[in-house]
Structure formats: structure tokens, C-alpha cells
Amino acid sequence: MSATRFTYLGPEGTFTEAALRTLPEAATRELVPMVSVPAALDAVRNGEAAAALVPIENSVEGGVTATLDELASGRPLMIYREVLLPIAFALLVRPGTKLSDVKTVTGHPVAQPQVRNWLRANLPEAVWESAASNADGARLVQEGRYDAAFAGEFAAVTYGLEALVTEIHDAENAETRFVLVGRPARPAAPTGADKTSVVIWQREDHPGALLELLQEFAARGVNLMLLQSRPTGAGIGNYCFAIDAEGHIADRRVGEALMGLKRICANVRFLGSYPRAGATADDVTALRPGTSDESFTAASDWLARCQDGRA
């Protein structure tokens, strides 16, 4: 395995690259752009890279389905950390282009919902076509295939373009969450402000099936931070569920919730326990009475005394 190489969703100039460069370890790694999320993750699976940074969730558009589906299938991978990056777009054009000249625009599909209102107000006649990434859209503008691309302003220099308009976003404080993914290993120790990610598959579809899954978390006081259904490919109505839960697998409440899911689900894929980006212990939801590790230990000790006739 190349321990000195990180891959990311490329080409150069993507928001993913910008997010990756916020990690201290990125300064000592070879950063390799890949054409797609699957390609970036397969490089890790095949030992060509130590880790990959990929987008997984946007505060406007929701989950990045390519990443969710890739983590749910294929050889297992694990999330080791996350990065939150504020997102604002620039309209990148070839030098000399005026706003009235823009008839075709491009960008990543996740970008479109974040600039839809701006487009409607400023370029109502422009035709949108999606690109593999925002930076790839900038490259296509450089090649003359489109008039403009929505991308990070920092991509202008890389592709010889200029930012005709900056700070474009329909929603204030828009963010994208990225995850650093590697091959499975022992999770890092709890920090007190952690997140645990899993994908679960129902054993069968019946009334209350989803409620039964969620009760494994609720009964143990585990707060959910994301719940998203994804089709399994086995036909209409067949879904798996991507879940982010507050806490670490080493926390008794989280570990026992996962054991409960393992008992009743067809499959559970553990995607990792890792620090929440920008969070401290003060940001963690207050524990409900009876859900601390000490409470679980005391209950376990009481059960042992009952079994020994010492209750």
C-alpha cells in the first residue's frame, strides 16, 4: 500500500481538494485527483492509496448518493475523520466573457440546487448540463464546450478562467461534509465528541420494521444525526439505511445499539467511529438518565448478582 498517497474527487480545483488541504497530514502526502468517487475509493481498496477524501453530505442537497452507495457496497472501507467546508460558488468564464454571453452553464449535479434561484434570476435562458465535478466543469469551459461553470473561485487560476460573479449561494451558511476513508482497522479512541456511521439492511419488510430498527437507538438514548434510505438494487421497495449516530462504538449505549441491530437486521456494515468536525464535548447532546457507561456497568453488575443469588 502507498502510505504516502491520498486520493480525492478531482480534477484539481475541486471543493474536495480544498477540503483535503485543510488536513495537517495532507501537507506530507501526495494528493492524487481521481475522475470519480468510486475511482478514489477503489484506489484505497486496491492498496494504491492510504486514504481518500470524498464528499458525503451537503446541507442543501442532502446525502451524496455516489459516496453512500459506494461505502455500502464492495469491499468494506472505514471513515476515520470528517471535514466541514463552507460552500460558495463563483461563475467562472473565459476572459472577456460578459454575463449576457453566457448561454450554457455546467457544474456538479449537487451544485445545481445550491444556485438554482440565482440562475433563475440572472440567467433564466441558460441551459444547464452536469459535469463530473465542479472543477471538471471549469476544464470544459476552458476547452470551449460551455460558456460558464459554477465552481470554487480558487479554480479560476488552475484553468485560466476569471470569476465573473463570486459568492453565489441560494442558502446562507451552506456546507459540504467530506470524509477521509481508509481500509478497515481499529477505530481511534473516543474523543467525547464522536460520530458512528453504519449501513443497515432490514431482514424483512413488515409494518413497524423501520420503527424496530430506530428503537434500538432510542431505547439506549443514542441521538441520530442522519438517516437516509438508499435502494439496494433488488427491486422497488427494497432499501438499506445509512445512519450517523452520535457517540463512539466504545460507548456502551452505542455498542449495545449496534449489537441490537445485528440481532434483528439482515446485515449491518460498520463504517467507523470518528471525531465530529468542529465539535467539542459541549456540543454533544446531554445523556438521558440511565444511558451513561456507568449506568450500563451498574446494570450489568446487578444482573450478575441476580444470577449468583446475591441481588
Do 181 and 206 belong to one domain?
no
Quickly count helices (H) and strands (E) in the chain: 9, 15
pLDDT reading at 253 higher than 70? yes
Q: How many separate domains does the chain show?
A: 3
Do 10 and 133 belong to one domain?
no
Do 297 and 205 belong to one domain?
yes
Do 72 and 96 belong to one domain?
no
Please tell me the distance from the alpha carbon of residue 184 to that of residue 166, in angstroms, as a whole number.
Answer: 40
Please give the model's pTM, rounded to 2 decimal places: 0.88
Do 109 and 180 belong to one domain?
no
Do 112 and 32 belong to one domain?
no
3-state secondary structure of 1: coil
Do 158 and 180 belong to one domain?
no
Angle between helices 252-264 and 209-218 (to 10 degrees): 160
Q: Residue 71 belongs to a domain with what CATH number?
A: 3.40.190.10
Taking residues 59-83, report their average pLDDT. 92
Q: Residue 212 belongs to a domain with what CATH number?
A: 3.30.70.260
Q: Mean pLDDT score of the chain, rounded to an integer?
A: 93
Residue that has been written with the C-alpha cell 470524509 in this structure:
179
Q: What share of the chain in percent tops pLDDT 70?
A: 99
Domain encompassing residue 145: 89-168
Do 70 and 196 belong to one domain?
no
Q: What share of the chain in percent tops pLDDT 90?
A: 81
Give Cβ neighbours of residue 166 (< 8 Å, ≥ 6 apart). 88, 90, 91, 153
Residue that has been written with the C-alpha cell 443514542 in this structure:
222
pLDDT reading at 176 higher than 90? yes
Do 109 and 247 belong to one domain?
no
Which ranges in 152-223 belong to alpha helices (H)? 155-158, 209-218
Cell of 275: 471525531
Type of residue found at 147: D
Q: What is the pLDDT of residue 198?
A: 98
